Amino acid sequence: MATNSLKAKSSGAGFKNYMRRYWVLYAMLLLPIIYFFIFKYIPFLYIQIAFKDYKIGMSPFAMPWAKNKGMFYFQQAFRNRDFRFALRNTIMLNGLDLLVGFPAPIILAIILNEIKCNAFKRVTQTIAYLPHFLSWIIISGLALQVFAPTTGLVNIALNAMGYSSKPFLNNPHNWVVIYVLLGVWQSVGWNTIIYLAAITGINTELYEAAEVDGAGRLRKIWHITLPGLRPTIVVLLILSLGNMLGIDFARPFSLQNNLVKSVSNVLSTFVYTNGIRGLQISMTTAVGLFQSVVNVIFLSIANFIAKRLGENGIW
């Protein structure tokens, strides 16, 4: 009894001392905690809008429940043809992005790592980062200048060489290619940063040992660099799988046009058209909730599989 209280006392004093010493760090932590609380946790209360009939200017607690035990708007969404197309397109575009856009920075990082001339490497890196800082609105403007059927740079060049104009932006198939490639162009440089950092962390003795054993450049990449990158790759892969249904708004919205709506209509633009413009707030909240739930499921499955394969996972 006595020892117990003594222990509690001393640990209490320890905590006091601890806080006295580190309170500044905790105070700094407060700011992000407040941010998450206000912008990520309070909005939770509003998820119920998906199950209720939205009334403007009314507290979500007071809104009446939707029909069919609150599930009406989910049913409405799944009955909506455009929603089903948007779902399909989102999965398709994200899948292609994963297929093409995910390996791209890994490859670029390895190539950059092999460059011996430091100045050249730096310049290349900096140029590759630049597009990351352009907004999609600007990129879409550039894309029009470059790919438009009559006034686009590429088509003017094609015409000058005697070929006819190619519908880069106004044919659904071509548009998907442009969409994916512009995505790679915009993000590949920036995404190499994390891989380059991971490569720096690989013990150089391994390379030296491999050299002694007579390993060539490709052997070293295959047996040392790539295994060294594996944990980073796995974590990033899990995170991107966890965003399989989440899709940026600006990119498809600014690049789209009426001739490619069959592939450019995705969940984010669907929510914009029907929610923010059409005021079908409950239905689009239901769509948002559905997206998030599916994302969580994807994330957990990917994490589970990664762990089964002996990786660390993200939790």
Partner 1 sequence: MKKILSFALAATMLLATAACGSDTKPSESKAPSESQTGQTETGTETEGSKDASVSGDGLTIEGEIENGKFLETKKITVEVYDRGNDGGSHPEDNFFTDYIKEGVLRDHNIEVTFVPVPRWTEVEQLNNLLAANNAPDICLTYDYSTIKTYAQMGGVTNLKDDIENYKDALPNLWGWLGENNIYWDKDPETGDLWAIEGKLANNTRINTFVRQDWLDTLGMEAPNSTEEFEKMLVAFRDNADKLLGDEADKMIPFSISFDIGWRADHILASFVDPEISTRERFVRGFDDRRFLYPGVEEGVELLNKWYNDNLIWKDFALYGAGDTTEDNLMKAGYVGAFMHNWDYPYRNADDSINNNLKRLVGEDAGYVSIDPFKNSKGEPMKFLPGPVDRKIFFPATNDEVLASLLYLDWITKFENREFLQIGVPDINHKVHEDGAIENIPATGDHIMNSPLNIDYTMTINGLDLGDEDLTTRSIAFSYPGVKAEVIADAYENSTRGGIIGQNINVGDITSETGMGPALSEKRDVVLNQAVVAKPEDFKQVFDAGMQDYLASGGQAIMDERAEKWEAMYGDATELPEQ
57 binds partner 1 (CB under 8 A): yes
The least distance separating partner 1 from the CB of residue 64, rounded to whole angstroms, comes to 10
- Angle at alpha carbon of residue 296, lines to 291 and 300, rounded to 5°: 150
The least distance separating partner 1 from the CB of residue 293, rounded to whole angstroms, comes to 7
78 binds partner 1 (CB under 8 A): no
Type and span of the H or E element at 304:
helix 281-308
- How many Å apart are CA 305 and CA 314, to the nearest integer? 12
* 247 in Cβ contact with 267 (< 8 Å): yes
| Candidate list 188, 263, 281, 306; residue touching partner 1; CB under 8 A | 281
Q: Is 52 helix (H, G, I), strand (E, B) or coil?
A: strand
The least distance separating partner 1 from the CB of residue 165, rounded to whole angstroms, comes to 8
| Candidate list 81, 116, 217, 308; residue touching partner 1; CB under 8 A | 81
Part of the chain binding partner 1 (CB under 8 A), chosen from 4-12, 108-116, 164-172, 188-196 = 164-172
DSSP 221: I
| Candidate list 13, 42, 92, 209; residue touching partner 1; CB under 8 A | 42
CB nearer to partner 1: pick between 207 and 249? 249
| Candidate list 17, 68, 292, 312; residue touching partner 1; CB under 8 A | 292
DSSP H helical segments within 97-171, as ranges?
103-114, 118-129, 136-147, 153-160
106 binds partner 1 (CB under 8 A): no
180 binds partner 1 (CB under 8 A): no
| Candidate list 4, 25, 28, 39; residue touching partner 1; CB under 8 A | 39
234 binds partner 1 (CB under 8 A): no
Six-digit token pair at 261? 């709506």
259 binds partner 1 (CB under 8 A): yes
Which residues are CB-contacts of 48 (< 8 A; sequence separation ≥ 6)? 60, 61, 63
CA-to-CA separations, 120 to 7, 111, 191, 217, in angstroms, rounded:
62, 12, 19, 19
112 binds partner 1 (CB under 8 A): no
Part of the chain binding partner 1 (CB under 8 A), chosen from 77-85, 90-98, 125-133, 204-212 = 77-85
299 binds partner 1 (CB under 8 A): yes
- Angle at alpha carbon of residue 111, lines to 110 and 117, rounded to 5°: 120
| Candidate list 70, 149, 228, 231; residue touching partner 1; CB under 8 A | 149
Radius of gyration (C-alpha) of the chain in whole angstroms: 26
| Candidate list 124, 132, 246, 305; residue touching partner 1; CB under 8 A | 246
CA torsion sign, 214 to 218 to 220 to 224?
A: negative
Return the closest-CA partner of residue 87 out of 277, 295, 226. Answer: 295
Contacts with partner 1 by CB under 8 A lie at: 36, 38-44, 46-47, 49-50, 54-60, 62, 80-82, 144, 148-151, 165, 169-170, 242, 246, 257-259, 261, 268, 271, 273-281, 284-285, 287-289, 291-293, 295-296, 299-300, 314-315
